[in-house]
Structure 1
């Protein structure tokens, strides 16, 4: 293969449709826009979701729910993830460095999912009642 022999794949290149260039082109007169109406005019179209003046679907349907913007600052860590971490003392910084919680997290809570065999000392981290019991049963503590 030479640089001067490279060609695009067959059918990859095709001429742009030139509308409104006479009847011989097959796309003259109305240029594929049909007859009259808003869509045939230059600059004549409507905004997305517009239904001709009828109340649009996105306004007919009821609004529901709420997504709290403070949730992104909360994080959860499982007992199984704590066991995999294998540290004797765990705080927020250790969890962030290990990648278990996001860098934006401000409140971290340990949840009871999985098992914990080693003693872990937690500082500045919350825990659910079940997780607290599991951590203390393994010889760990929460501060």
Structure 2
């Protein structure tokens, strides 16, 4: 009698990128920006960099343009995920500054929630969370 065997193959998907010295050429090519975020010749600005302008309630996001598939919907198999970040936050010598930074994973097309400026870091409504 023949014996059937089933070997589950691992779900393989690889996404690797290294963004150094982000500049204007990265806009809409490797980085998407939404909200008040923009890419300048000096990198990503998640909120406006303007003097003498009220900055309260400003919020922006920068996301990698290529989605990362974390699981195979058909089989439910998960993929491993590892990351490493190295970045500089420069206050340009100012002792009065704000902003925050968060790494997040969300479904493609997720928008910035209403009310998420400030302590909500563009991820959750700061009033309800």
In the superposition, the TM-score normalised over structure 1's length comes to 0.21
Q: Of the two, which has the highest radius of gyration? A: 1
**TM-score normalized with structure 2 length:** 0.23
- Greater relative contact order (CA < 8 Å, ≥ 6 in sequence): 2
